[in-house]
Structure 1
Amino acid sequence: MFCFKVTPSSVSFIRKYSAKVKPAIVPDKHVIDNINNNVFKPKKHPGIMKPKTVLVPETLIKAVVNATEDSPVKALITNGQYLEKHLKGRVPPMEHAQLRELTQKIKQRVSSKYKDVVINNEQDEARVKQMVESRVQNILKEKVYNWKPIKYDAYRSLLYLMARFAPEYSVLVKIFGEICSRDPEFKPRSFFDFGSGVGTATWAANVYWKHHIFEYYNVDASSDMNDLAQILLQGGRGTGKMPTKGVFYRQFLPATKITFDLVISAYSLLELPSMQARLQTVLNLWNKTEKYLVIVEQGTNAGFKVVNEVRDFILDIKKESNIGHVFSPCPHDDTCPRFLLDDGTPCNFEVNYYTLPIGQISQNRRELYSYVILKKGKRNETDPKWPRPVRPALVRARHTICRICTANGKLDEVIFTAAKHGKITYHCARSSEWGDLLPVEVNVNLETDEHNPKSDKSGICNKLTV
């Protein structure tokens, strides 16, 4: 598929001809037969990704109470909220080459404003030079994100626990739930977590594979984070035996070539100092992956771009023994159509969760996240090519509008009606939410006439309202 960057002129071109592109909806026959035979109802079709709202385990809540009993809980909650706000506004550090280029452009622009200043001696020249440098630095402070690594000591680790455990746990439970649902034969025996923090991923993995995983290898640069993660598994007391066997904590990536069935990096790549560091880390993680690699970041533009960066990097690997494909969320391995649009809208998803009921009343909130699950090996041609809704469905009287990412590598907007698509498919569409899978295949039929040039077949989306 030919792809291109959307410019204002190309946007108008796509809008002009997109009406000629009509996606044909082909229902999944197996799903239709099962619904007709009352195996399940449309509201519970196999594309529904549960759970809807995630609850933190009672054992974890008790462990947090024990771990924070000597700390002012209200202060932890308040300062944790400040930390969370900072994390959600975090962007990757600018690359050195980009910073040099930007600095040079700003310096040229600022210097041009001082070209008429009369310079009589070396002191005047030094003074003007100092004024230019000062002005350049002030502009850089306004334009460039002041990225600094966050050092998680014992107190910041507690702040992270209070603010981020519940939303991150909910996200990971939903992501692992999709792997468990779509690949029920997958029973991981080993688990590797890079940037493990307070051990959130271990708790989430135990929801599905507690009796199958025999080794949990956790890597986090902060020894205080590692200590807190271990204390939580011990019930918040930091004493006694580990209820979960085979749990290891390290501060650095292991140098061995041992592989793990399930490898994850959640909310960690934005903490690395450069693109080179991110990609080198991801390559190390991919080399340690036996079957699934999961990457999760904030559902912001910065988080989405980092996830997409990782996705493209892994898919570009040509070595036969190390190739992979996207298991989720994309139903394709083409360039992300959302990234191509470059309209400031990230590809993200949503999960509901309850805050920790410690020092406050538990509240129902929503978390936005961007992620990719990469699977070792080539994509199986027999795998269902179901599209994924990338925004909430618009349920209206007698029709439902679904904005979906399709196996064709495009963003489509489909209006489902019972008359056009059948009652079962229509009700499946009405029941599908943001992040689910629609049990249909989308084929694009192009009307051929003088207003439909062949070049339009490579359009990146069929509706720009997605």
Structure 2
Amino acid sequence: MALRTYGACVLCQRASIVRMMCTGMSAVAHPQSQVDFLKGEVHRKHPGVTNLKTLHLPVELQTAARSIILSAQVNRMTGRIQALTNFLWSRKRAVDDFTLRQKAVSLEKQLWEKAMESSGDVDVQVLQDRIRKKVLSELRRNTYHWTPLKYDEESGVVYMAARLAGGFAAVRRAINEIKKRDPSFAPQSLLDFGSGLGTVVWASHSCWGDTLKEMVCVDSSGPMNILAERLLKGDDEAAEPHIKQVYFRQFLPVSPKVQFDVVVAAFTLSELANAKEREEAVFTLWRKTSSYLVLVENGTKEGHQILMEARDTLLKKQEKTVHDTRPASVFAPCPHELMCPKLATESTTPCNFHQRYQPLPLPGHNDLQTEKFSYLILTRTESPQAETAGVDWARLIGPVQRRKRHIHCRMCCPDGQLQHLVVTARKHSRDVYRCARNSDWGDQLPIIQKVDDDVQTDSE
């Protein structure tokens, strides 16, 4: 019996020595595993995870919205919700005068060249008039006719039914990036430009409700401001607002010295008439920002390009008068400040993200839905994640495909390149592999040493 016990102890010691040797070899083979990018978290909650589970509207907001919608008794509500949803999703930017002139000149040149190829004498004046009419006709037929959106009380209710839950989901997911990566940030003031139904206030309150002391909502639409106040009061004029210190304005504060900890513009830049107005609005919002500027748009080509336009404005252009000299830097989702690689590809696909949410409990809206959105967060301070972790992070820009013993990850990397990486525990360390398996579209991954047979460009 004693001999057996002694033998078992020897085997245990040998096994322990082998494990120690393997661990040491693994650390040498995978120096990335020595970097404490986990910061004490388990793999499924690693620092790069910013996705949220299925989002639900706050109970008070859902109850108030349902009460307003049902009491409004809007005719053909279901059809109007679908029509408005489709219209907003397909909405494009207004074509500016410069682009329109370029199109006209190009089309006129093509028509002249085609006319000159045909034989025979022609009256130049008649031909010129004919070509001009043809150019005008083609421009009218092929140019997107942008018109500003105006909401009255009834159309505002339709908008509420169509976009309240989805808009809340997109904004809540975007600001969760700040909450997760900068947990010490405790904003006291917020500005919402183009506030509409006040969705940003509700999303921000659910994130930083304990610290926010002043929230200013700016929207030029009087009916929208009234609906937003009704939502805050639970559709009861005599009641106290559920969220205090919310102030509604139709114009931005004039003084350039007035700043807010967080400034948000959700689905707003796309409603401005031209590129010049968008640029002026972005500069104005940046002047009002003391810490973070959050921009959210539809996850379409148009939405993505509007955000990249805003990004270039703040990173590459300079205002005539600067009141806060701290420069802008990209906080999310881009892991770099180079040209967006998505815009460099021939078949331009938008950089967008998904968030699942529970829609308002209305007829035909009971199933879970997914909001597809694009966002951009700029900051006046350096990323706290990079400072503490000592490691670069890449952004997952597509679904993570989990396979047996390997994972396909499509990422935008800090070098400004898109990569398709096949992650394995053997080549990229067990920690990185498990983090990748627990990540999803929109999360971040610690940057991994390139391996020839694992890395592919998107063109491949």
Q: Does 2:387 correspond to 1:382? A: yes
Deviation at 1:227, TM superposition (A): 0.8
| Residue matched to 2:289 | 289
**Equivalent position SS for 2:80:** helix
Cα distance in 1 for residues equivalent to 2:303 and 2:69: 30
Deviation at 1:31, TM superposition (A): 4.1
Deviation at 1:331, TM superposition (A): 1.7
Deviation at 1:77, TM superposition (A): 2.9
| Residue matched to 2:10 | none
Q: Does 2:428 correspond to 1:421? A: yes
**Equivalent position SS for 1:51:** coil
Deviation at 1:344, TM superposition (A): 1.5
1:398 to 405, 408, 414: 405
| Residue matched to 1:200 | 199
| Residue matched to 1:301 | 301
Cα distance in 2 for residues equivalent to 1:425 and 1:355: 35
Deviation at 1:114, TM superposition (A): 5.2
Counterpart contact for 2:66–2:361, Cα < 8 Å:
no
| Residue matched to 1:373 | 377
| Residue matched to 2:131 | 132
Deviation at 1:436, TM superposition (A): 0.7
Counterpart contact for 2:260–2:288, Cα < 8 Å:
yes
**Equivalent position SS for 2:70:** coil
Counterpart contact for 2:39–2:47, Cα < 8 Å:
no
Q: Report matched runs for 1:199-238 at 5 Å.
A: 199-238=198-237
Cα distance change of structure 1 residues 30 and 113 upon mapping to structure 2, 3 Å threshold: closer
**Equivalent position SS for 1:321:** coil
> What residue ranges of structure 1 are gaps of 5+ in the alignment?
1-23, 448-460
The alignment of Structure 1 onto Structure 2 pairs a total of residues equal to: 420
**Equivalent position SS for 1:327:** strand
Give, as a single letter, the amino acid of the residue that structure 2 aligns with 1:311.
R
Cα distance in 2 for residues equivalent to 1:28 and 1:268: 44
Q: Deviations over 1:97-145 (max 9, x none)?
A: 110121122223334555668667xxx956x565434422331133211
Deviation at 1:409, TM superposition (A): 1.9
**Equivalent position SS for 1:372:** strand
| Residue matched to 1:13 | none
Deviation at 1:206, TM superposition (A): 0.8
Counterpart contact for 2:175–2:294, Cα < 8 Å:
no
TM-score with structure 1 setting the length: 0.83
**Equivalent position SS for 2:325:** helix
Q: Deviations over 1:130-166 (max 9, x none)?
A: 5434422331133211111111121221111111111
| Residue matched to 2:245 | 246
Give, as a single letter, the amino acid of the residue that structure 2 aligns with 1:357.
P
Cα distance in 1 for residues equivalent to 2:358 and 2:134: 47
**Equivalent position SS for 1:292:** strand
Deviation at 1:167, TM superposition (A): 0.9
Give, as a single letter, the amino acid of the residue that structure 2 aligns with 1:270.
S
Cα distance in 1 for residues equivalent to 2:264 and 2:330: 15
Give, as a single letter, the amino acid of the residue that structure 1 aligns with 2:408.
I
2:331 to 322, 327, 334: 327
**Equivalent position SS for 1:68:** helix
| Residue matched to 1:357 | 361
**Highest RCO, 1 vs 2 (Cα 8 Å, sep ≥ 6):** 1
Q: Deviations over 1:219-249 (max 9, x none)?
A: 1121111111111111023443323222111
Give, as a single letter, the amino acid of the residue that structure 2 aligns with 1:210.
G
Cα distance change of structure 1 residues 189 and 119 upon mapping to structure 2, 3 Å threshold: same
> What residue ranges of structure 2 are gaps of 5+ in the alignment?
1-29
| Residue matched to 2:437 | 430
| Residue matched to 1:345 | 349
Which structure is larger by alpha-carbon Rg, 1 or 2? Answer: 2
| Residue matched to 2:14 | none
Cα distance change of structure 1 residues 281 and 463 upon mapping to structure 2, 3 Å threshold: same
Q: Deviations over 1:338-384 (max 9, x none)?
A: 22224221111111112211234411111211111101135576254
- Report which stretch shifted further, 399-408 or 231-240: 231-240
Cα distance in 2 for residues equivalent to 1:33 and 1:62: 40
What RMSD over aligned residues (CA atoms) do the two structures have, in Å? 2.6
Q: Does 2:448 correspond to 1:442? A: yes
Cα distance in 2 for residues equivalent to 1:393 and 1:64: 35
| Residue matched to 1:84 | 85
Deviation at 1:274, TM superposition (A): 0.9
Give, as a single letter, the amino acid of the residue that structure 2 aligns with 1:442.
I
Deviation at 1:96, TM superposition (A): 0.7
Cα distance in 2 for residues equivalent to 1:25 and 1:175: 32
Counterpart contact for 2:72–2:154, Cα < 8 Å:
no
Counterpart contact for 2:261–2:290, Cα < 8 Å:
yes
Counterpart contact for 1:232–1:238, Cα < 8 Å:
no
1:463 to 451, 457, 460: 457
**Equivalent position SS for 1:77:** helix
Q: Percent identity?
A: 32
Counterpart contact for 1:295–1:372, Cα < 8 Å:
yes
Cα distance change of structure 1 residues 46 and 283 upon mapping to structure 2, 3 Å threshold: same
Deviation at 1:187, TM superposition (A): 0.9
Counterpart contact for 1:195–1:221, Cα < 8 Å:
yes
| Residue matched to 2:8 | none
Q: Deviations over 1:392-423 (max 9, x none)?
A: 11211221111111222221221111222232
Cα distance change of structure 1 residues 421 and 114 upon mapping to structure 2, 3 Å threshold: closer
| Residue matched to 2:32 | 26
- Report which stretch shifted further, 315-324 or 266-275: 315-324
**Equivalent position SS for 1:442:** coil
Counterpart contact for 2:33–2:430, Cα < 8 Å:
no
TM-score with structure 2 setting the length: 0.84
Cα distance change of structure 1 residues 110 and 424 upon mapping to structure 2, 3 Å threshold: same
